[in-house]
Structure 1
Amino acid sequence: MPLYGPAAAVVLAPLFQIFNEHADEISKRLFDNLMRLPRSPHFFQMLSADELEQTQRRQLQYLLRLASPTLSAHDHGVMARQIGRIHAAIGLDRSDLARSPGALWASIRNFITPDTHHGALEVLERRFIRDLALQLDVYQNLQTSRETMLLSLTEVAWKAPTYTDLITQVVETLSDCDEIAGCFVGRPDDVGIFRYESIGGAAMGQYLSELEKSADGAIMANSDSPKGNGPTGRAWRSGNIERSLNISTDPHMTPWEEAARRVGFRSSVAIPLHQPDHPTRAILTLYSASPGAFTASDRVAFTSLLQSLLGFAITRLEALEGKTQTMSHGLRQHFAGLLRGNALVMHYQPLMDLHSGQIVKVEALARLLDGDQLIRPDAFLPAFSAEDLFELYRLGLEQALTDRQRWAEAGHDLGISLNLPATALGDGRYYLATRDALHRHACAGEKLTLEVLEYDAFPLGVDPLIVLSHFKALGVVLAEDDLGSGHSSLNRLREIPFDDVKIDRHTARVGHHNPERVLLFIYQLIQLGHTLLKRVTVEGIEDFDMLEAIAVLGADLVQGYVISQPMSAKQLAQWLRQPRNAPDRTRPVTAYGVLAMDILKRERQRLLAHENQRVAPD
Structure 2
Amino acid sequence: MYEKLNISAEPPAPAEQQAALRALLAAVQPDLNGVVEAFIRQFYDELLKQTRFSRVLKLLSETEFSRLRSNQERHLRSLFVGSSEASVRVARHVGRVHALIGLDASWLVEAYGLYTRLLIGHFAAWVEPSERAALLRYFITRLQDELQWQIEGHEDIVRQFDAALVRIDAAILTAHTLSDLLRAVLGALENIEGVLAGTIGRPDAAGVVQFEHAFGSRFKSLYLDRIDSGEAAFTTVRGDAAEGLGVSGRAWRSREVQYTASYACDPAILPWKDVADELGVRSAVSIPILDASGQPIALMDLYSSYPGFFTSSTRRVFVEHLQKVLGLAFARYAHSPSGVVPYARRQFYVDLLDHSGLQMRYQPVVNLKTGRPEKFEALARLQRRDGGELIAPGEFLPVLGAHDMWRLFSLGLEQALHARQRWAQQGVDLDVSVNMPPVALSDPRYVERVEQLLRSHALDPRRLTLELLESSDLDISERRDALLARFRATGVRLAEDDLGSGYSSLLRLDSFPFDEVKIDQGLLGGLGKAPRRALDFIQHLTRLAHDLGSTVVVEGLESAGLVEAAIILQADAGQGYGLARPMPADAVVDWVHGFHLTINRDHPRTALGIYAAHLLWEQRLAYMTPWPDALPLAARAATALHHYIEVEGLEGGPLHLAYQRLISALSEGLETPAFARAQQDMRRQLDLLVRAELGQ
Unaligned runs of 5+ in 2: 1-12, 630-696
Select the residue among 92, 98, 106 that pairs with 1:87: 98
Q: Deviations over 1:358-403 (max 9, x none)?
A: 0111110011222203222112212222122112112111111111
Q: Tell me the TM-score normalized by structure 1.
A: 0.90
Aligned to 1:563: 579
Q: Deviations over 1:59-110 (max 9, x none)?
A: 33433333x3x35423322321222122111112222211223433555535
| Residue 462 of structure 2 is aligned to residue 449 of structure 1 | no
SS at match of 1:268: strand
Select the residue among 367, 384, 388 that pairs with 2:404: 388
Whichever structure has more helix as a proportion of its residues is 2
Q: How many residues align?
A: 609
| Residue 367 of structure 2 is aligned to residue 353 of structure 1 | yes
1:447 Cα deviation (Å)? 1.5
SS at match of 1:370: coil
Aligned to 1:122: 137
Report if aligned partners of 1:211, 1:256 keep a CA contact under 8 Å in 2: no
1:522 Cα deviation (Å)? 2.2
| Residue 112 of structure 2 is aligned to residue 98 of structure 1 | no
Select the residue among 507, 520, 524 that pairs with 1:504: 520
Q: Deviations over 1:102-156 (max 9, x none)?
A: 4335555357526365132332232222211111111222222322332233222
Q: What is the 5 A alignment of 1:462-541?
A: 464=480, 466-488=482-504, 490-510=506-526, 512-541=528-557
Aligned to 2:355: 341
1:483 Cα deviation (Å)? 1.7
Q: Runs ≥4 in structure 1, deviation > 6 angstroms? A: 2-6, 610-613
Cα distance change of structure 1 residues 421 and 392 upon mapping to structure 2, 3 Å threshold: same
Q: What is the 5 A alignment of 1:212-361?
A: 212=227, 215-274=231-290, 278-316=294-332, 318=333, 322-361=336-375
Q: Tell me the TM-score normalized by structure 2.
A: 0.81
What CA distance in whole angstroms lies between the structure 1 residues aligned with 2:225 and 2:504?
A: 48
Q: Deviations over 1:412-451 (max 9, x none)?
A: 2211121110110101121222222223222222221211
Aligned to 1:177: 192
1:162 Cα deviation (Å)? 2.4
What CA distance in whole angstroms lies between the structure 1 residues aligned with 2:216 and 2:19?
A: 44
Aligned to 1:548: 564
SS at match of 1:378: helix
Q: Deviations over 1:332-352 (max 9, x none)?
A: 333223223222211101111
Cα distance change of structure 1 residues 267 and 210 upon mapping to structure 2, 3 Å threshold: farther
Cα distance change of structure 1 residues 403 and 206 upon mapping to structure 2, 3 Å threshold: closer
Select the residue among 411, 422, 425 that pairs with 1:406: 422
Select the residue among 56, 59, 66 that pairs with 1:43: 56
SS at match of 2:361: strand
Query: What amino acid does structure 2 have at the position aligned with 1:445?
Result: P
Return 182-191 or 495-504, whichever deviates more. 182-191
Q: Deviations over 1:590-613 (max 9, x none)?
A: 222222211111122123327999
Report if aligned partners of 2:471, 2:505 keep a CA contact under 8 Å in 1: no
Report if aligned partners of 1:39, 1:93 keep a CA contact under 8 Å in 2: no
Aligned to 2:163: 148
Query: What amino acid does structure 1 have at the position aligned with 2:108?
Result: L
Select the residue among 82, 85, 94 that pairs with 1:74: 85
Aligned to 2:40: 27
SS at match of 2:310: coil
Sequence identity (%) = 33
Return 473-482 or 46-55, whichever deviates more. 46-55
Q: Deviations over 1:180-216 (max 9, x none)?
A: 2222333334543323333333443354268547555
Q: Deviations over 1:564-586 (max 9, x none)?
A: 11010111222112142233111
Report if aligned partners of 1:163, 1:324 keep a CA contact under 8 Å in 2: no
Cα distance change of structure 1 residues 290 and 2 upon mapping to structure 2, 3 Å threshold: farther
| Residue 145 of structure 2 is aligned to residue 134 of structure 1 | no
Aligned to 1:415: 431
Report if aligned partners of 1:542, 1:562 keep a CA contact under 8 Å in 2: yes
| Residue 602 of structure 2 is aligned to residue 586 of structure 1 | yes
Report if aligned partners of 1:351, 1:362 keep a CA contact under 8 Å in 2: yes
What CA distance in whole angstroms lies between the structure 2 residues aligned with 1:460 and 1:256?
A: 47
Return 267-276 or 3-12, whichever deviates more. 3-12
Select the residue among 151, 159, 163 that pairs with 2:178: 163
SS at match of 2:235: coil
Report if aligned partners of 1:478, 1:498 keep a CA contact under 8 Å in 2: yes
Report if aligned partners of 1:181, 1:203 keep a CA contact under 8 Å in 2: no
Cα distance change of structure 1 residues 322 and 538 upon mapping to structure 2, 3 Å threshold: same
Unaligned runs of 5+ in 1: 614-618
What CA distance in whole angstroms lies between the structure 1 residues aligned with 2:491 and 2:548?
A: 19
Cα distance change of structure 1 residues 510 and 180 upon mapping to structure 2, 3 Å threshold: closer
Query: What amino acid does structure 1 have at the position aligned with 2:349?
Result: F
Cα distance change of structure 1 residues 468 and 437 upon mapping to structure 2, 3 Å threshold: same
Return 508-517 or 27-36, whichever deviates more. 508-517
| Residue 75 of structure 2 is aligned to residue 62 of structure 1 | yes
CA RMSD of aligned residues (A): 2.9
Report if aligned partners of 1:508, 1:538 keep a CA contact under 8 Å in 2: no
Return 400-409 or 14-23, whichever deviates more. 14-23
SS at match of 1:363: strand
Cα distance change of structure 1 residues 462 and 37 upon mapping to structure 2, 3 Å threshold: farther
Cα distance change of structure 1 residues 40 and 611 upon mapping to structure 2, 3 Å threshold: farther
Report if aligned partners of 2:178, 2:336 keep a CA contact under 8 Å in 1: no
Q: Deviations over 1:450-503 (max 9, x none)?
A: 112344431253565553343233332222211222112644313311122211
What CA distance in whole angstroms lies between the structure 2 residues aligned with 1:8 and 1:241?
A: 54
Cα distance change of structure 1 residues 611 and 464 upon mapping to structure 2, 3 Å threshold: farther
Cα distance change of structure 1 residues 275 and 462 upon mapping to structure 2, 3 Å threshold: farther
Report if aligned partners of 1:354, 1:582 keep a CA contact under 8 Å in 2: no
What CA distance in whole angstroms lies between the structure 2 residues aligned with 1:342 and 1:493?
A: 36
Cα distance change of structure 1 residues 333 and 454 upon mapping to structure 2, 3 Å threshold: closer
Query: What amino acid does structure 1 have at the position aligned with 2:208?
Result: I
Return 89-98 or 145-154, whichever deviates more. 145-154
Aligned to 2:646: none
What CA distance in whole angstroms lies between the structure 2 residues aligned with 1:257 and 1:206?
A: 16
Aligned to 1:616: none
Aligned to 2:677: none
Report if aligned partners of 1:469, 1:497 keep a CA contact under 8 Å in 2: no
Query: What amino acid does structure 2 have at the position aligned with 1:326?
Result: V
1:404 Cα deviation (Å)? 0.9
Q: Deviations over 1:147-171 (max 9, x none)?
A: 2332233222222222332222332
SS at match of 2:503: coil
Select the residue among 15, 23, 26 that pairs with 1:10: 23
Cα distance change of structure 1 residues 485 and 50 upon mapping to structure 2, 3 Å threshold: same
